[in-house]
Amino acid sequence: MHDVGGTPVGEAGLSGRAAAAEVLLKRAYQTWEGLLERLPIGVYVCDRKGAVIQFNSRAVEMWGGKPPPAGGRAPFERSFHPDGSPMSPDQSPVAVALATGAPVKDREVIILQLDGRRTHLLANVEPLFDEGGRLMGAINSLQDVTELRQAREMLRNRQAWTQRVVQTSPIATYHTDSEGRILSYNHAAVTLWGREPRLGQDRWCGSFKLFEPDGAPLAPERCPMAIALRERRQIAGAEVIFERPDGSRGALLAYPTPLSGADGELVGAINMLVDITERKRAEDLQKTLLDELNHRVKNTLATVQSLAAHSFHDVGDPAGMRQAFEARLMALSSAHNRLAERRWETADLGDIVAGVLAPYGPDVAICEGPSIQLSTRASVTFAMALHELATNAARHGALSSPKGRLLVHWTRVSDFLFLEWRETDGPPPPLQPLRRGFGLRFIRGAVERELSGQVEVDFNEAGLRCRISAPISATV
């Protein structure tokens, strides 16, 4: 081995340098000043009045300046409590230690430096006594925890932000411990369950009752969250039917995920519940509509077949028979259009009456009655019956004369729906009245077959009067 100039250095040379370095190190740490300067924390000593009499450079960095040479207070503008409220001089850690003679441990203080910066310091103060036990002063060690405080504040803000996100999320979320006991939940979960679970007591899920998708009861210990905890695996999109305390039911998809600690041990689980009640209702409605459509198409085809058979049964004017047949098809189509506007659920009786009479002008009739929502079957039946009555009135009755009057009135009495069609001031009844034609046969057959109702028709000199009655259970 050689030194910098190339001269060989033996073991004796190395030993001599190490010994010299050890001597220098001991001298540096045997003096109070040397020890203070080499400490990684700020340290200062004050007398019994709080005047600084000794300090190291690290303390100067934390203060942002040096105290007066003749001794004085630490050089900073103001101090504050950790919550930001002002701290009076007699509340400082050193003042408290000097006043009580007791140590002050891990007291956080915020100081405003002379240049306007704020520094967070952690103070530990020890009172100093002489051999006689008299208080002589105190020594204070300071640690700069500004970055730690900022990191802690950032973490706290992030946690608060995360908590706000969870609480305001439209997706129901809750978490449990390793035994399945519910520890927290958000507002969406309460809305979904219809109740607030008992923290630390209710297990696995906050629902009042659970069911399989096919409607079979589901025990809580067999719900997706319980399975995820027991088998320590994530479950994605398990469908469950839930029931609230008020008896209402809904459907959800569960996404439970087990949570593990740093040591890999199970500490709990978090579950997200996606409410698919409306989607399931839409699917059920779609199926119902398809079934209804299938049924309605069959009935419509049967109705069209009946219309065709009777419209072209008698020998007569082919153009007139075709015109009558097409008019009946348009009446049937109009009824279907009104049902389609309401998603094939209901149609208002007043709208049906207005639709049938619309081709004859806005003031041809007086229509009176409450709003009554008819079923799909009743809507088509009334539309076709009223069409036949209107067609007959336009050919032979009140709608064929400028002086003719027409009143259509409907009402609901107890468990029955009544509709009356009354014509006045029209021409005399024809020799072949409606009673012998297809119209009356169709009206009576449709009302009796589809609505379990009755039809009464009266022909007189004043005009035709038709009264239709049907039980509410078959019409609304």
For position 104, what pLDDT does the model report?
94
For position 299, what pLDDT does the model report?
65
Whole-angstrom distance, CA of residue 311 vs CA of residue 329: 11
> In this predicted model, what pLDDT tens digit does every residue of 86-134 receive, in sequence order?
999 899 999 999 999 999 999 999 988 888 888 899 999 999 998 888 9
Which segments of the chain belong to CATH 3.30.565.10? 314-471
Q: Which two tokens stand for residue 78?
A: 């103001």
- Please spell the DSSP secondary structure of 246-266, one letter per residue: TS-EEEEEEEEEEEE-TTS-E
> In this predicted model, what pLDDT tens digit does every residue of 41-85 receive, in sequence order?
889 888 888 888 888 888 888 888 888 776 667 777 788 998 889
In 10 A of CB 357, how many CB atoms?
21
For position 303, what pLDDT does the model report?
62
Which segments of the chain belong to CATH 3.30.450.20? 38-149, 169-276
For position 110, what pLDDT does the model report?
92
Q: Contacts from 340-348 at CB under 8 Å and sequence distance 24+?
A: 343/285, 343/289, 344/289, 344/292, 344/293, 344/296, 344/376, 345/376, 346/373, 346/374, 346/375, 346/376, 346/379, 347/373, 347/374, 347/376, 347/379, 348/372, 348/373, 348/374
What fold, for 38-149? Beta-Lactamase (3.30.450)
Average confidence score pLDDT of the chain: 81
What fold, for 169-276? Beta-Lactamase (3.30.450)
For position 152, what pLDDT does the model report?
81
* Adjacent-strand bridge partners of 140: 44, 125
For position 1, what pLDDT does the model report?
39
Could you list the pLDDT tens digit for every one of the 476 residues in the chain? 334 344 444 455 456 665 655 555 455 445 666 677 778 888 988 888 888 888 888 888 888 888 877 666 777 778 899 888 999 989 999 999 999 999 999 999 998 888 888 889 999 999 999 888 899 999 999 999 888 888 888 877 776 776 776 677 788 999 999 999 999 999 999 999 999 999 989 999 999 899 999 989 999 999 999 999 999 999 999 999 999 999 999 999 999 999 998 888 999 999 999 999 888 888 887 887 777 677 667 666 666 666 566 555 555 666 655 666 666 666 666 666 666 665 556 778 888 888 888 878 777 888 999 998 888 778 878 888 888 888 888 888 888 888 888 999 999 988 899 999 998 888 876 655 544 566 788 788 888 888 889 999 888 777 889 999 999 886 76
Q: Which CATH number fits domain 314-471: 3.20.20.480, 3.30.429.10, 3.40.50.1370, 3.30.565.10?
A: 3.30.565.10
| Conformation bin of residue 204: beta by default, left when phi > 0, alpha when psi is -120 to 50 | left
**Residue 232 near residue 210 (C-beta atoms within 8 A):** no
For position 435, what pLDDT does the model report?
44
